[in-house]
Amino acid sequence: MTEPTWRQRAELALGRVELHGLQRALMAAAGLRATRQRIGDLELALYERRRDGTPVVMLHGFGGDKETWLLLAPMVRRRPLLLVDLPGHGASTPIGRARATPAAMGAAVVALLDARGIRRAHLCGNSMGGGIALWVARNHPARVASLALVASVASEMAESELSRALARGENLLIPSPGDRDASDRFVKMMTEKPPRVPRAVQRYVAARRAAARPVLEDLFRGLVEASAADGLPLDLEAVAQPTLIVHGAKDRIIHPDTARMIHARLPRSRLELLDGIGHVPQLEAPAAVARLVDRHLADIDRDPIMASS
């Protein structure tokens, strides 16, 4: 690992400033306000839009944060939104490996719903966040009106570039600190169609993730080494909520065959594969994902039986 040059340091500083400006603009466009919620010894960072109706709660992927939904949020109109930094991520309370299991994360989401007075929610989750949404739907079905799974994990996963790298002892989800090439490879691995944000922002986000490598490695072990009792639900056939599955056809992290397996096992699901899109469709194709989510929720609104089941 080599020390960054002054040009690289300047680019990262620029990326930080540009990212914060972009976030403020997108929050204003979506009508979101920043807030926090204490649940026990945890404090979760949130972005919230209060309106009448059933809230859409958005759960990010491993190593991410609530900001990964900001390109999408302004396009999901007319609905209350709650964007969450899950425990150990973003600006929420740090946690150790033992509290990084799907069960512990899912329980934190349910406790958050309780604390915010939310009886039922539509859960929208990307990658790990999709797995957490599945856990909540399976274990607390009365709290979940519907699911939108965006490049979601599941208890059964098809082979992918990520799984092959993990078998070699390499975690593609955590770039190496101080390695600019690794940061660029991370962006290319995660996205087929990089989001339309400045290159300095992309490199800053990857560098920030790399700097958190020891923490993320511990959280990852907690997630993937969870016992069967604390892991992702094995019996997807028992998840009865209406479910939208959105997956990038070029996803290198979670192969599209995983989405097909989830679709085959969820009794009330619809699968949408997006051509030319990778692992973070909400960043790569936010307008397309927003249209699908809006249509999914509108279908539920029009069908009283579906909405109340």
Order of all β-strands in the sheet with 42-49: 33-39, 42-49, 81-84, 56-59, 121-126, 144-150, 243-248, 269-274
What is the band of 11 on the pLDDT scale with cuts at 50, 70, 90? confident
Question: Would you tell me the crossing angle of helices 128-139 and 102-115 to the nearest 10 degrees?
Answer: 70
pLDDT at 198: 84
Domain boundaries, the chain: 6-304
Q: Any idea what DSSP says for residue 29?
A: H
Selected from 3.30.2290.10, 3.40.50.1820, 3.50.7.10, 3.40.50.150, the CATH number assigned to the domain covering 6-304 reads 3.40.50.1820
For residue 179, pLDDT over 70 is answered with no
Q: How far apart are CA 220 and CA 119, in angstroms?
A: 30
For residue 306, pLDDT over 70 is answered with no
What is the band of 2 on the pLDDT scale with cuts at 50, 70, 90? low
CA nearest to 270, candidates 252, 250, 303, 297 = 297
Please provide residue 82's backbone torsions phi and psi, each rounded to the nearest 5 degrees.
Answer: -140, 110
Q: Residue 15: enclosing H or E segment and its boundaries? A: helix 6-30
Number of residues assigned to the chain: 309
pLDDT at 7: 77
What are the strands, taking DSSP E only, across the chain? 33-39, 42-49, 56-59, 81-84, 121-126, 144-150, 243-248, 269-274
The encoded tokens of residue 235 equal: 């019996």
Mean per-residue pLDDT over the chain, rounded: 93
Q: What is the pLDDT of residues 48-75, one digit of tens each?
A: 999 999 999 999 999 999 999 999 999 9
Q: How many beta carbons lie within 10 A of that of residue 290, not counting itself?
A: 18
Question: Would you tell me the crossing angle of helices 199-211 and 6-30 to the nearest 10 degrees?
Answer: 100
Instruction: Answer whether 131's CB lies under 8 Å from 105's CB.
Output: no
DSSP string, 289-309: HHHHHHHHHHHHHH-HHHHH-
What is the band of 234 on the pLDDT scale with cuts at 50, 70, 90? very high
pLDDT at 81: 98
